[in-house]
Amino acid sequence: MYNLKDMTLEEMEEFFVNIGESRYRAKQIYKWIYDKKITDFDEMTDISKNLRSKLKEIAYISQLKIEARRVSEVDDTVKYLFLLEDNNIIEGVAIRYRFGNTACVSTQVGCNMRCSFCASAIGGKVRDLKASEMVDQVMAIDSDYGKISNIVLMGSGEPFDNYDEVMKFIKIVNNPYGLGIGGRHITISTCGIVPKIYQFADEKLQVNLSISLHAPNDELRTQLMPINKAYPLEELMKACKYYVEKTRRRITFEYSLIEGVNDKKEHAYQLVDLLKGMLCHVNLIPINYVKEIGFKKANNEKVMMFKKIIEDAGISCTVRRELGSDIEAACGQLRRKYLKER
């Protein structure tokens, strides 16, 4: 059975041609799926009964089940657990900003990158998500939380470790006949898979790129993020500069501040040396506490010191406001708790 949500518009056009139907049927079906949110072929009233019958025999339209839903009492953030068709569990987060609602989407069940501060890494990767499973997260959050205008691929998993399905997902949600979410309202976060950064730069998309950096030198970054053994900072920075030159787009560097680990004054100055001259923005993140890991967030005084050093060097910098701390909203936290209880 074909899941129609796994198809870009071009793929769906070919699908209809291959079953002896007109190419324009793809746009009709796209409208039913993404505009009208219909998953039952019998409700698609502008399609002949014969075609509806044919589709029911060979295709279906997926939906995700919301297995659990936790609402923050502090900031209106909502954490979701979604049940997949194979009984795996993934997470999604809805975040309300003044510029619109954001859906934070997972790209894999678990993660293989083994970052030492992330709950998603505990237990490793189970499998990649299909494009449809990413689309379904956005649509489920949109239906439950309210209109989604921004997407960040910062949930569980490494997006560039599932590159082809992520690119397909972007084509579906970006298409005007799909969810119609503009590229500049979509952000992909990677821990630094260098070859894929070059490939992504060559895609010529308007999608934003975010790099999970979290350390300003190789020794410390390798301790926190094993990916640095394969792609050390010199190679990562070369790829980032290529991306900026190729796209003329700013990169955001995510830096989680961990008490006593990467929050010293010397680290801030090293970060300035690493990034100075690049078209970039630094997003400082007070890390969420994960019981199994034990890292604690840096205190506010250290955060402000870090921010000042970066800004004084002429580099744009913000501190991400803490969201969902009372509902275990950090990547992998709620899923981990649910799986232990199950």
Check the annotation: does 245 bind a ligand.
Answer: no
Strands (DSSP E) along 237-302, which ranges? 251-257, 280-286
Check the annotation: does 281 bind a ligand.
Answer: no
Check the annotation: does 118 bind a ligand.
Answer: yes
Beta bridge partners of 280: 251
How far apart are the C-alpha atoms of 191 and 153, rounded to whole Å?
Answer: 12
Check the annotation: does 191 bind a ligand.
Answer: no
Check the annotation: does 185 bind a ligand.
Answer: no
How far apart are the C-alpha atoms of 233 and 153, rounded to whole Å?
Answer: 22
In a 13 Å sphere around the CA of 71, the CA atoms on its Cβ side amount to 5
| Annotated catalytic residue within 191, 280, 317, 331 | 331
Strands (DSSP E) along 140-207, which ranges? 148-153, 186-190
Q: Which residues contact 251 (CB under 8 A, 6 or more apart)?
A: 209, 210, 211, 240, 243, 244, 278, 279, 280, 281
Check the annotation: does 214 bind a ligand.
Answer: yes
Q: Which residues contact 275 (CB under 8 A, 6 or more apart)?
A: 253, 282, 315
| Annotated catalytic residue within 91, 133, 165, 328 | 91
Determine whether 331 is an active site residue. Answer: yes
Amino acid identity at 178: G
Check the annotation: does 267 bind a ligand.
Answer: no
Which strands sit side by side in the sheet containing 100-105, from one edge to the other?
65-71, 78-83, 89-97, 100-105, 148-153, 186-190, 208-212, 251-257, 280-286, 316-319
CB 189 within 8 A of CB 231: no
Check the annotation: does 104 bind a ligand.
Answer: no
How far apart are the C-alpha atoms of 158 and 181, rounded to whole Å?
Answer: 21
Annotated binding site: 111, 115, 118, 157-158, 189, 212-214, 288
Annotated binding site for S-adenosyl-L-methionine: 157-158, 189, 212-214, 288
Known catalytic residues are 91, 331
Annotated binding site for [4Fe-4S] cluster: 111, 115, 118
